[in-house]
Amino acid sequence: AQSVAQPEDQVNVAEGNPLTVKCTYSVSGNPYLFWYVQYPNRGLQFLLKYITGDNLVKGSYGFEAEFNKSQTSFHLKKPSALVSDSALYFCAVRDPSGGYQKVTFGTGTKLQVIP
């Protein structure tokens, strides 16, 4: 069975400071990993994904994430936070080894960027 954990319900960061939103996963094979963002009263928007290749993945709005196989992590990062980054962030995992597999989402981390 696949699972994903976002250990922090909320992350607070000052505007202009670097931000990190943590995600760890568990799959039986090689994972496909995703980050999505949800603004209030909106659907989820895709930020970035890791399928294969370079462990550092760059995505939308200046976000990036690093795939670390040994630590089974896929933390989301941004060098300088903006107030407009305040939203709910979801990490998701899919295990391609089992054929058609559901996507498992984490519980979400609320990011609050303080002006």
Q: Site residues (CB under 8 A) for another protein?
A: 32, 34, 36, 42-46, 49, 51, 90, 94-96, 100-108
Instruction: Name the minimum Å distance from CB 44 to another protein.
Output: 4
Instruction: Name the minimum Å distance from CB 43 to another protein.
Output: 4
CB-nearer residue toward another protein: 20 or 101: 101
Residue 110 CB contacts under 8 Å (≥ 6 apart), including other chains: 9, 10, 11, 87, 88, 89
> Phi-psi category of 53—alpha, beta or left, where left has phi over 0 and alpha has psi -120 to 50?
left
CB-nearer residue toward another protein: 35 or 113: 35
Residue 107 · residue 50 · CB < 8 Å: no
CB-nearer residue toward another protein: 22 or 105: 105
